[in-house]
Structure 1
């Protein structure tokens, strides 16, 4: 089952920015990296800091609290002190809007 939620109009979602979607079950950070969109859990798996306020470095987000790096593509924890991966979520463009599926998520194998 899918639950697609509107995130932003594509024209209003600038490169290098992030939007956050909160549902009853998840808090998801969606990033626009050069017109490619990535959606991951917004909370760091190490200390639950909000990754949406972290620094972007290529296709990685750096946790603002302790500096752990996560892949925006796979959700993989790339550096200590984080060892637990993040869930990633499907995104799509539909009629000029970016949407995220808050029901379907993938864990890194």
Structure 2
């Protein structure tokens, strides 16, 4: 899995949970929502705060600082004060592990 970052196994990332992995200096929050995996950059585009750990309702994660919300499937803003989307990253399962990467 050259170029990919190991996140963990399915047993370490159960439905409703998240885990943060680092690809160099990029924090990537990986979410398991009803068995489907999504990965976004763990930085609110409003003020640079972490998104991981914020409330997750459906497919939306809320920034704890000012309440901006983002769709983890697309990165799109669903509630201001943020107006710029967050970056989404690929996620795959291989060799018994979950993997992601910053592919920008």
User: Who is 2:34 aligned against?
Assistant: 34
Residue 9 in structure 1 maps to residue 35 in structure 2:
no
Counterpart-to-counterpart distance in 1, 2:80 and 2:73 = 18
Query: Residue 24 of structure 1: CA displacement?
Result: 2.5
Q: Deviations over 1:31-62 (max 9, x none)?
A: 11111010001010001111001000001101
Moved over 3 A (4+): none
Structure 2 unaligned spans of 5+:
none
Match of 1:22 in 2: 22
| Backbone CA RMSD of aligned residues | 1.3
Aligned length: 103
CA shift, 1:96, in A, is 1.8
* Unpaired stretches in structure 1, ≥5 consecutive residues: none
- TM-score (normalizing by structure 1): 0.88
Tell me how far apart the structure 2 counterparts of residues 16 and 74 of structure 1 sit (CA, whole Å).
18
SS of residue matched to 2:70: strand
Alignment of structure 1 residues 38-77 onto 2, 5 Å: 38-77=38-77
Single out whichever of 9-18 and 53-62 deviates more from structure 2.
Answer: 9-18
User: Residue 6 of structure 1: SS of its match in structure 2?
Assistant: strand
